[in-house]
Structure 1
Amino acid sequence: MTQLTPQEQAQATASRQRHLTLGIPAPVRDRRLPLTPEAAAIISEYGIEVRIQQGAGVFVNYPDNRYAAAGARLTDRTETLDCDIVVSVEAPSAEDAAHLRRGATLLTLEPQVDNAAALKALLERRICAISMRQIRDSEARHPFSDILGEIAGRAAVTMAATRLAEVDADTTVGKGILIGGIAGIVPCEAVIIGSGIAARAAASTALGLGATVRLFDDDTYGLRAAMDAAGGRLICSAMQPHVLQNAIAMADVIILTPTAMPYIISAASMSAAKRGVLVYDITDYDMCPLATMDTVDLADTERPHTRPHDTICFRNLSAVVPRTTAMALSNALISLLPDLVDTRGVNSIASLRNGIQRAVYTCMGHVTNADLAHSMSRQYIDIALLGRLS
């Protein structure tokens, strides 16, 4: 008798979940995709029908037949949007939002929309929109944001090493040098702002290539942890203006990562920087901390990735390695599914744990993210209050 009980529960759960659908529309302006064929197969085993737009895997080098073999259903964009759960790396457009199933759950990277019309459509269709970057686990960590930061930190140094070795007289890209130097030649210097996961990933990669790495943050505990993790090979300092400006003047690579408090690197500090210094912004701030610098979004498929300027700030580094990013996002998504797929429904506020609730930015026709509400001149309602009223 005791052997049959878990079998009956598992069968009942599968029966309740089998009707659920999960849609993956192809990114329009982004190179990243949140689902691999392997992840599609695992999700299908939950009894969830996976729908993916034809050609969605082009930038991550996954052909349609890989998804089909994994049990996913290849279809058009409209059908992928008409699902119980829709996962996209991009902010929803007004057209896409209008095609979402009423009461569906939408997962996007950021708590953003294309415009006011897109937000209006989300509210009218009572979409439960969740920012993956803002989701927290039971230990208050951000699994999606942290893994993207780690990828971006490593990708920034890898990209910098490649660009330093190149020589292009027309665009002043590269110097024809190794980032780590050799015997008799000093290595390049990398300045990294921050001491979190992204900063440590960048520092570890740069040290592995032989660069001299200077880490700046006002969080002395974070600096101490980063120094210990690197075996004492990092040069760490608080963000004292004079010390930071001197470091920037010597830097070949500057990497900006999140800190507890947002920061701005002044134009005066950057005026002393070397010509052609490589700058990578992997913060999650709306604007690059180097506000006066031209930026290039590496995730954007509609803009060129190089321009003929001396200094450019590159953003969205995880898009440089979209297949690695797809695998990482898939791992995080699979871990999240049991919390989303609840017997009370995917759009039940009461069924969402607090770490997910706090990532919801629209729900039941209300804006539940204060920054989004302010930017769109909409009324904000706290998700906890909304949960008690529902």
Structure 2
Amino acid sequence: MSDKEKKIPLPKEFTEGQLMTQSETLQRNTRQRHLYIGLPKEITLQENRVALVPSSVSTLVAHGHRVVMETGAGEKSKFSDHDYSEAGAEIAYSPEVVYKADVIIKVAPPTLDEIEFMRPNQLLISPLQLPIINAEYIYRLKSKRVIALAMEYIKDDSGYFPIVRIMSEMAGISAMLTAGELLTNTSGGAGVLLGGISGVPSAKVVILGAGIVAEYATRTALGLGAEVRIFDDNIYKLKRIQNQVGRPLYTSALNPVYLERELISAEVVIGAMHSESGRTPIVVSEGMVEKMKDGAVIIDVSIDQGGCFATSRVTSLDRPTFIKHGVIHYCVPNLSSRIARTASIATSNILTPILQRAGDIQSIEKVLFGDYGLRHGVYTYKGCLTNEYLGRRFSIKSTDLDLLITSSL
């Protein structure tokens, strides 16, 4: 066979461009954006928690991020300035220094005075406690052109609310233990033991909602020997809570007739409703509360979203209760602040991966654009209100966040 016959014919497109000048391609590394994070000291609502604990600060600093905290910010959670300093945080002795950071993280909404320290394009991560904010709060954030993100509205990849979930676990346990204490004579209650003893019936507990708060409140109540009734309009949640608890429970849809009948004979009522975007619906009217026993206890865990009792109003840890129609009301929005160290570690565990992920991307706009869960928590963005419920409540124009982010990319 000749050499000519051995040659394999190649298409022209594979050979005709070989002698032409080729463009040189170089690898381009994306520069990581290190975050500058500020932790102010909480000054409102007897708040004892801190958003980041020393172990989380150590992780963030090891990834190249800068953390500055106000002196004493962790003291009420039993974390000293020395603990934070050893973890790599910078200790500041005035709030003005802390508010120079690009990302401000708080476990209570900023006061109007604190908002004055802020500047345009700064990212604020804090709860949005609906009962204590007003139109002026929204206008101040808008005027500062701050990107404000509500912790309790952040979603994870599964569509759940991780901050709400972990706080709900603590709130459910803490609510039942608090109710047991408030039922005693020394706290002004009816003098009833939450769990029954031989020959004496146990207390009746009514729980509104069948989410995480309800699950952990139910576990605690049953463990103490109480009788539990659970109400929710979501039948799937009622099935789920029975499966999670592992035993048959008295459950019902939110039928006013059945609900009123149980409230009249209840010693404890726990409000454990949660709204995904706005105010919690009121499911117990003032007339129903009037028919409850004297010395009965209402604990409205939903108060941070407005409360689900018509008689609820915000209280604080120094004066946590009030009596209306003979019923003791406990309506503290930061219930987990009573167990500040545990609550701080739990919050920090959720926020740290979010902050690390944000540091891997060059701009906060790109972080929000690629993460629907974080985007769901944003309520003001560079001078615009983006939460439709807040717009209706305060008669302020709201704008769709997706349009704003797309236009700024």
Normalising TM by the smaller chain, what interval? Answer: 0.7 to 0.9
1:13-72 alpha-carbon deviations (Å, 9 max, x no partner): 8x7344x21111111113132121222212222211111111112322222222222211
1:313 to 329, 336, 339: 329
Counterpart Cα distance in 2 of 1:92 and 1:65: 25
Farther-moved stretch of structure 1 (249-258 vs 330-339): 330-339
Q: Which residue of 2 aligns with 1:172?
A: 188
Q: Which residue of 2 aligns with 1:42?
A: 59
Counterpart Cα distance in 1 of 2:311 and 2:159: 34
1:207 to 216, 219, 222: 222
Q: Which residue of 2 aligns with 1:105?
A: 123
Secondary structure, aligned partner of 2:373:
helix
2:254 maps to 1:239: yes
Q: Which AA in structure 2 matches 1:314?
A: Y
1:287 to 282, 288, 306: 306
Counterpart Cα distance in 2 of 1:119 and 1:21: 24
Counterpart Cα distance in 1 of 2:312 and 2:398: 33
Q: 1:70-149 alignment to 2 at 5 Å?
A: 70-75=87-92, 76-110=94-128, 114-149=133-168
Farther-moved stretch of structure 1 (367-376 vs 79-88): 367-376
Q: Is the 8 A contact 2:70 2:95 kept in 1?
A: yes
Q: Which residue of 2 aligns with 1:65?
A: 82
Q: Which AA in structure 2 matches 1:50?
A: V
Counterpart Cα distance in 1 of 2:75 and 2:231: 38
Q: How far 1:129 moved relative to its partner?
A: 0.9
2:372 maps to 1:354: yes
Q: Which AA in structure 1 matches 2:146?
A: I
After superposition, the CA RMSD in angstroms is: 2.6
Q: Which AA in structure 2 matches 1:324?
A: T
1:78-106 alpha-carbon deviations (Å, 9 max, x no partner): 11111111011222333322322431111
Counterpart Cα distance in 1 of 2:234 and 2:141: 39
2:43 to 28, 37, 43: 28
Structure 2: where are the runs of 5+ without partners? 1-26
User: CA 1:244–1:142 in 2, change beyond 3 Å: closer, same or farther?
Assistant: same
Counterpart Cα distance in 2 of 1:117 and 1:256: 29
Q: Which residue of 1 aligns with 2:172?
A: 153
Q: Which residue of 1 aligns with 2:201?
A: 186
TM-score (norm. length: structure 1): 0.87
2:391 to 373, 377, 382: 373
Secondary structure, aligned partner of 2:173:
helix
Q: Which AA in structure 1 matches 2:56?
A: A
Identity %: 29
1:265-284 alpha-carbon deviations (Å, 9 max, x no partner): 12232222121111111126
1:163 to 170, 182, 187: 182
User: CA 1:266–1:351 in 2, change beyond 3 Å: closer, same or farther?
Assistant: closer
Q: Which residue of 1 aligns with 2:235?
A: 220
User: CA 1:174–1:73 in 2, change beyond 3 Å: closer, same or farther?
Assistant: farther
Q: Which AA in structure 1 matches 2:376?
A: R
Secondary structure, aligned partner of 1:86:
strand
Q: How far 1:296 moved relative to its partner?
A: 2.3
User: CA 1:99–1:26 in 2, change beyond 3 Å: closer, same or farther?
Assistant: same
Structure 1: where are the runs of 5+ without partners? 1-7
Q: Which residue of 2 aligns with 1:196?
A: 211
Counterpart Cα distance in 2 of 1:323 and 1:311: 31
Q: How far 1:160 moved relative to its partner?
A: 1.4
Q: Is the 8 A contact 1:17 1:47 kept in 2?
A: no
User: CA 1:16–1:259 in 2, change beyond 3 Å: closer, same or farther?
Assistant: closer
2:340 to 322, 344, 355: 322
Secondary structure, aligned partner of 2:124:
strand
Q: Is the 8 A contact 1:61 1:323 kept in 2?
A: yes
Q: How far 1:162 moved relative to its partner?
A: 2.5
Secondary structure, aligned partner of 1:378:
coil
Q: Which AA in structure 2 matches 1:389?
A: S
Counterpart Cα distance in 1 of 2:285 and 2:134: 31
Counterpart Cα distance in 2 of 1:128 and 1:61: 31
Q: Is the 8 A contact 2:208 2:214 kept in 1?
A: yes
User: CA 1:352–1:216 in 2, change beyond 3 Å: closer, same or farther?
Assistant: same
2:406 maps to 1:388: yes
Q: How far 1:73 moved relative to its partner?
A: 1.3
Q: Which AA in structure 2 matches 1:373?
A: G
Q: Which AA in structure 1 matches 2:32?
A: R
Q: Which residue of 1 aligns with 2:351?
A: 333
Q: Which AA in structure 2 matches 1:153?
A: G
Q: Is the 8 A contact 2:206 2:266 kept in 1?
A: yes
Q: Is the 8 A contact 2:271 2:309 kept in 1?
A: no
Q: Which protein has the larger Cα radius of gyration, Structure 1 or Structure 2?
A: 2
Q: How far 1:350 moved relative to its partner?
A: 5.5
Q: Which AA in structure 1 matches 2:120?
A: R
1:269 to 288, 292, 298: 288
Counterpart Cα distance in 1 of 2:328 and 2:350: 31
Secondary structure, aligned partner of 2:364:
coil
**Count of residue pairs the alignment pairs up:** 371
TM-score (norm. length: structure 2): 0.83
Q: Which AA in structure 1 matches 2:69?
A: I
Q: Is the 8 A contact 2:203 2:267 kept in 1?
A: yes
Counterpart Cα distance in 2 of 1:385 and 1:355: 16
Secondary structure, aligned partner of 2:73:
coil
Q: Is the 8 A contact 1:349 1:387 kept in 2?
A: no
User: CA 1:167–1:285 in 2, change beyond 3 Å: closer, same or farther?
Assistant: closer
Secondary structure, aligned partner of 2:85:
helix
